[in-house]
Structure 1
Amino acid sequence: MTAPTHHLRRPLTRRLAVELTGTALLLATVVGSGIMAEHLAGGNVAIALLGNTLATGAMLVVLITAFGPMSGAHFNPVVSLVFALKGEITPLTAMAYTVAQIIGAVLGVWLAHAMFGLDIAQTSHKVRTGPAQWLSEGVATFGLILTILAVRQARADAVAVMVGLYITAAYWFTASTSFANPAVTLARSLSDTFAGIRPQDAPLFILAQIAGALAALAVCHWLLQPPAPESISS
């Protein structure tokens, strides 16, 4: 998510390892903090969501700051898709990143289950479906991509903090609690915990996320164009 840097000169295998590791840590945080929050909140869903939100937002700041110079810190297939469409990475690299992100996300979920002594292999039964949820995922992903692209242009060194703050806010202003990430969505379908989503609900979440990302890319292509040079009058 960082501005173009030397990370593209690193071997692809190392960048893929970083994307896998970062996404795994992100999902371990999302799912693990959800389990802990639900356990400690005494049935208060708002308190549980707050705990889940703060942990996720904080971890995003850490991961993007630490891993941005190594791989670009995408940790999200739609982020990789956007950068491929912008020509900053190749389609093949975007596909490889996506595979690494999905594998990392699943491993992160399994790690969270193991840390809390739960069954490793699970399937979620948590219903998340309907037009309001799909719209929320489109809006959440639109805002995420808009944040990344706009902040990269305005102040690249602030991307990590701004993304963390955006996701923290989006947990609360979207009905879906802002998955905004296909790898996260797939992995959370494998966790029958606070953060879960039924596998049958995941495909339309992912379609909404892709649509939101493409809409944001189109808007940013127009919105973030540099101003035309002013003509000098004699």
Structure 2
Amino acid sequence: MTFDLGRRLAAEALGTAILVTTVVGSGIMADRLSDDVAVSLLGNTIPTGAILVVLISILGPISGAHFNPAVTMVFAIRREFELSAVAPYLLAQIGGGVAGTIIAHAMFELPLFQVSETVRTGPGQWTAEAIATFGLVLTILGGLRFRNDSIPWLVGLYITAAYWFTASTSFANPAVAIARSVTSTFSGIRPLDLPGFIIAQILGALVAAALAGWMLAERSNENPAIIAKGTE
């Protein structure tokens, strides 16, 4: 079924909003329930991975369930997404993400508009974000190539794992990073640190797209020499 651009944008905004509400809201809840940072991170990780499975399953058929400017950019580069819809998708994702942060604040009776003071910068953090986004994009493209029906689980499980094996806790998403810069809670990132994260995310996505374009390309099993001989 093909959906018009308006419905697709609504799905992207809604999906990104729910994703960020889950990230920020579970971070607040986990931080309130435990003084142990490891336990709080676990409480932030599981809901995020779980909600990705749900959102991709129910909204994927409508918009493709990008929820991520880096993913939209990769599909556009691969000519699998119309260029005219790139800017609207990015605006819907960023707007939805910021709305998700505000909703999380409202649920926990916090000031709606905040600015994060959590420092997340340096070569280690940037490398982590490049690797996190590289893995996410490769997971999506590999899933599309071999296990299309498993993509919701593949993405959810990858992000769950990446929360723990990356130094940055795997933002892997420029829209989510922007949304997390306007919360001073557990999951925040200082606005000053956004450029480094976003550049690293884009670079990671581009490398993954290039690798997947080569590694996952279909190749013919036919021998060109035999074909040529048969046409003589």
Please classify the TM superposition score into its range, dividing by the shorter chain length. over 0.9
Q: Which region of structure 1 is more displaced relative to structure 2, 87-96 or 186-195?
A: 87-96
- For 2:165, the aligned partner's letter is F
CA distance, structure 1, for counterparts of residue 214 and residue 4 of structure 2: 33
Letter matched to residue 155 of structure 1: R
For 2:86 and 2:50, the matched residues in 1 are separated by 26
Question: 1:1-234 alignment to 2 at 5 Å?
Answer: 6=1, 9-41=2-34, 43-231=35-223
Q: Distance in 2 between matches of 1:230 and 1:166?
A: 36
Higher-Rg structure is 2
Gaps of 5+ in 2: none
Counterpart residue type for residue 31 of structure 1:
V
Aligned length: 226
CA offsets per residue over residues 154-173 of structure 1, 9 Å max, x none?
Answer: 11000000000000000000
Counterpart for residue 3 of structure 1: none
Alpha-carbon distance in structure 1 between the residues aligned to 2:87 and 2:74: 12
How large is the RMSD of aligned CA atoms in angstroms? 1.1
Deviation at 1:14?
Answer: 0.6
1:12-36 Cα distance to aligned partner (Å, 9 max, x none) = 0110001000000000000000000
CA distance in 1, matches of 2:36, 2:61: 39
| AA partner of residue 218 (structure 1) | A
Q: TM-score normalised to the size of structure 1?
A: 0.95
Amino acid at match of 2:10: A
User: SS of the counterpart of 1:190?
Assistant: coil
Tell me the SS of whatever aligns to 2:147: helix
Greater shift, 119-128 or 9-18, is seen at 9-18
1:228 to partner: Cα distance: 2.4
Question: What TM-score comes out, normalization by structure 2 length?
Answer: 0.95
Secondary structure of the residue aligned to 2:161 is: helix
Letter in 2 for 1:20: A
| Deviates further, 145-154 or 87-96 | 87-96
Identity %: 57
Q: SS of 2:72's equivalent?
A: helix
Q: Which deviations, in whole Å up to 9, do the C-alpha atoms of 1:100-144 show, x marking residues without a partner?
A: 000000000000000000000000000000000000000000000
- Quote the offset at 1:10 in angstroms: 1.1
Counterparts of 1:163 and 1:215, CA distance in 2: 18
